[in-house]
Amino acid sequence: MINFSNFEKKTKIIFKDKSLLEQAFIHRSYINENPTTKLSHNERLEFLGDAVLELIVTDFLYKKYPTYTEGELTALRSALVNAVIISEVATKIGMNDYLLLSKGEAKDNGKARQYILANTYEAYVGALFLDQGIEAAEKFIHKNLLPKTEEIVSKKLWRDAKSLVQEKAQEFVNFTPAYKVLKESGPDHDKNFTVGIYFGPSLIAEGKGQSKQEAEQSAALAALKAKNWLD
């Protein structure tokens, strides 16, 4: 099995129960491919970690932004705990090197891996909570995820870009934005889309994503930047 000692050194968190740490990194596909193993996949830990993560992030945001409304706090929390951000954090701390996956899943480095990494991060939070309590989980999340908050707030990434660009376009140029897929590439399980955002006949900006919705949000954000409408 995988030796997690280097990971423990990197995170400076030494688990008392090593089996909990190991379980956090085991994807269901690995168990399906190795049915005789006595190991368990990480989905129960993920369930627990998701709740612990949400509580810690909610508490942090509630205290840090006392003037924000419930709706604004909810949007900010959603922006912070989405799969893209969490998988970036998981990759940065080296979780990708320790995943236990089926041979098929191990070859896929697209959108599916992003979700696996985000789920593994949550499972790790659940395992850490069980092993060392809420304070250890809070310290871990404060160290590697919550610093992302400043960027999300400063760039207004917590606001829905499509809604904001529609509001601004109607206010300043009297157009309702339209979106058009300009390019599709990649296999069905790992598609990439390039979408253009138009004000009338004019192409304002382009965005890329692994779904049409993601590409539209990216294009909307690019249009907001191009028009200097983010302030």
* Residues forming the active site: 50, 122
Contact 22, 94 (CB under 8 A): no
Whole-angstrom Cα distance, residue 160 to residue 156?
9
3, 39, 98, 106, 126 from 35: Cα distances, Å? 21, 9, 20, 17, 24
Q: Which of 47, 44, 78 is nearest to 61 (CA)?
A: 78
Q: Do the beta carbons of residue 23 and residue 4 sit within 8 Å?
A: no
Residue 193 parent element (H or E): strand 192-199
Q: Residue 215 CB: number of other CB atoms within 10 A?
A: 26
Query: What would you report as the CA-atom Rg of the chain, rounded to the nearest whole angstrom?
Result: 20
Residue in this structure with the two tokens 């009297």, named with its chain if needed: 174
